[in-house]
Amino acid sequence: MAIRTWTWVVFLLLALLSPATPSCRAAEAPSPQPSPADDGLRTGYHFQPPKHWINGKNLKLAPRCNNVLIPPCSFCSLTSEERLINGRDRVLVRADPNGVMYYKGVYHLFYQYNPQGAVWGNIVWAHAVSTDLVDWVMLPPAIYPTAPFDVNGCWSGSATVLPDGTPVIMYTGIDGQNRQVQNVAYPKDLSDPYLREWVKPDYNPVIAPGPGTNATAFRDPTTAWQGPDGLWRLVIGTKDNHRGLAMLYRSRDFKQWAPANRALHSGDTGMWECPDFYPVTTSPAAAGGGGGTKHVLKVSLDLTRFEYYTFGEYDHATDTYVPDAALADGNDGLRYDYGNFYASKTFLDTAKQRRILWGWANESDSTDDDIRKDWAGVQAVPRKVWLSSDGKQLVQWPVAEIESLRGGHVNVTDKLVGAGQHFEVAGLASAAQADVEAAFQVADLDKAEPFEPAWRGTDAQAVCAARGADARGGVGPFGLWVLASDDREERTAVFFRVFKGGDGGKHVVLMCNDPSMSSQADNLYKPTFAAFVDVDIAQAGGKIALRTLVRGLLGLSE
């Protein structure tokens, strides 16, 4: 066994517990049906319908209000019938976030959802609303199969707010021939800030797969943008054999759409799902002057279920997108997230002039287990996203509103922890729900073990698998065990490991989330996730900080 000589110090461990006292008036809240099983495993931070399958996200549920917060009490007037679709209240969950927008003081989250069970299928656009991105109210599904152009499902899409303030949804319908077509829907009543009812014009579909287009891989339209010529543009994900494509379409009236002669971008990475294309502002320093605009193109890779992005120059006149030369395109590129995060979508929050990113975490187990507990899938916490000041990558952080969930504070400072030691953070109101900020200082970086040449160019997950939470090294593993049982037989490790011998002599910092010990139950979904962290830990004096939102679900922190 290696002699363990390193030590680390926790400078600050601040665990802030949720929930704070909710502000809703419980007496007026409708009573949702509780989930029949395993409520203890449901999330506190993340958006999640009361039951069934989502691909999309989990909105926050507040225990003191029967697990659904009702901030504007006009929601309380919803009847139980209004929570049904077609007279059924069975709704399974899947969950790409769809058509997220801000309208008349209300945030709208639509998401892919199965109203009939906890496995993927029968897909509709479920709908939830919030005034603060924290407390959410479930509304009846907004878009569901009603017509030949979406009879087999209402798949992902986006919302665009037109210059006169009218929101329009563009979504993928699965038609009677199982072709993927793009349809529009408009609010029935623009004076309703909750936008409960949507109308699909008879002229749908507005975009059908043309000759040469793969009709079963043609989906997920982006939010549209208007060029200087007044034409609307949007991008649709597709593939040509193994080549993923972001197909560009143009329209003058949002009704008649024509394909551009060439794709906005493409890559040899299989089907591109859920593309997203949006501007970010560069800092004056990074732009070498007055700042400017870059455009981000994100694609969700169906083959790997990871999301990659580039950013670069977009010429509005020629509709040409050229990623910055320093950025790799494809599987070697920058990932949005190195955890469980897919089918994401951003929107511009016009209330606070920030761009917010939502994504779906596929929290599901075996089909049998999902059916038994009657839910699967959550929405990750909404994040603000922006370009780093050095212009090299995007930066994300949970929206500030999430901090309103912090309740009792627990502070731990100046803890010296030797190799093989641990200490317990006492005093948490709930170990299953905490917002943790920790700062570590490594005593002696010289003890770092060498970064093996075989790991060069490999995925961080492979290194984490080779050097997991139980493999002792020169510096690390150090970090947190979260959701640990009293005897620590069950625990999820969130930890760092430091190697020497990286590029330019820099240390390599590996961060892992290892839930392999999170439960002794069989057949659970317990993937290990990992990333190399872009920090110079030596220059930082051996210090590294971590924020993790712990919630009562197995094996997830973000």
Phi, then psi, of 516 in degrees rounded to 5:
-60, -25
User: Which residue, 485, 508, 505, 494, is CA-closest to 549?
Assistant: 494
User: Which residue, 226, 175, 187, is CA-closest to 104?
Assistant: 187
How many Cβ atoms are within 10 Å of 534's Cβ, its own excluded?
Answer: 11
User: Which residue, 48, 38, 44, 45, is CA-closest to 377?
Assistant: 48
Question: By C-beta, is 361 or 494 nearer to ligand DQQ?
Answer: 361
Least Å distance between CB 503 and ligand DQQ? 34
Residue tagged 């490999």 (tokens): 458
273 lies in the binding site for ligand DQQ (CB under 6 A): yes
Question: By C-beta, is 364 or 518 nearer to ligand DQQ?
Answer: 364
496 lies in the binding site for ligand DQQ (CB under 6 A): no
Least Å distance between CB 108 and ligand DQQ? 18
Applying CB under 6 A, among 55, 58, 160, 223 the residue interacting with ligand DQQ is 55
User: Which residue, 172, 178, 177, 107, is CA-closest to 143?
Assistant: 172
> What angle (nearest 5°) sits at the alpha carbon of residue 276, between those of residues 324 and 533?
60
User: Which amino acid belongs to residue 7?
Assistant: T
CA-to-CA separations, 15 to 12, 31, 436, 439, 513, in angstroms, rounded: 10, 31, 4, 12, 18
Cβ-proximal residues to 89 (8 Å cutoff; 6+ apart), any chain = 33, 80, 83
245 lies in the binding site for ligand DQQ (CB under 6 A): no
Least Å distance between CB 395 and ligand DQQ? 25
Binding mask 100-139 for ligand DQQ (x = CB under 6 A): ------------x----------x----------------
Question: By C-beta, is 220 or 401 nearer to ligand DQQ?
Answer: 220
Give the dihedral of Cα atoms 474, 479, 482, 488; nearest 10 deg.
Answer: 40
Question: By C-beta, is 124 or 460 nearer to ligand DQQ?
Answer: 124
Q: Are 384 and 413 in contact (CB under 8 A)?
A: no
38, 39, 96, 534: the active-site residue: 96
233/176 Cα distance (integer angstroms): 27
235 lies in the binding site for ligand DQQ (CB under 6 A): no
- Burial classification of residue 254, based on how many CB atoms lie within 10 Å of its CB (0-12 exposed, 13-18 middle, 19 or more buried): middle
Least Å distance between CB 55 and ligand DQQ? 5
401 lies in the binding site for ligand DQQ (CB under 6 A): no
Q: Are 528 and 468 in contact (CB under 8 A)?
A: yes
219 lies in the binding site for ligand DQQ (CB under 6 A): yes
Q: Taking CB under 6 A as the criterion, which residues in 320-349 touch ligand DQQ?
A: 343
Residue 416 three-state SS: strand
CA-to-CA separations, 331 to 306, 308, 335, 451, 453, in angstroms, rounded: 9, 7, 9, 22, 20
Q: Is 315 a catalytic residue?
A: no
Report how many residues bind ligand DQQ under the rule CB under 6 A.
Answer: 13
Least Å distance between CB 156 and ligand DQQ? 3
378 lies in the binding site for ligand DQQ (CB under 6 A): no
SS (H, E, C) 360-408: EECCCCCHHHHHHHCEECEECCCEEEEECCCCCCEEEEECHHHHHHCCC
Which residues sit opposite 508 in a β-bridge? 499
Question: By C-beta, is 157 or 552 nearer to ligand DQQ?
Answer: 157
Tokens linked to 48:
């999640």
Length of the chain: 558
223 lies in the binding site for ligand DQQ (CB under 6 A): no
Least Å distance between CB 237 and ligand DQQ? 7
Applying CB under 6 A, among 172, 238, 364, 379 the residue interacting with ligand DQQ is 172
220 lies in the binding site for ligand DQQ (CB under 6 A): yes
Q: Which long-range contacts (CB under 8 A, 24 or more apart) does 533-536 make?
A: 533/496, 533/509, 534/393, 535/509, 536/506, 536/507
Applying CB under 6 A, among 274, 405, 460, 498 the residue interacting with ligand DQQ is 274
Where on the chain is the footprint of ligand DQQ (CB under 6 A)?
55, 94, 96, 112, 123, 155-156, 172, 219-220, 273-274, 343
Residues identified as active-site: 96
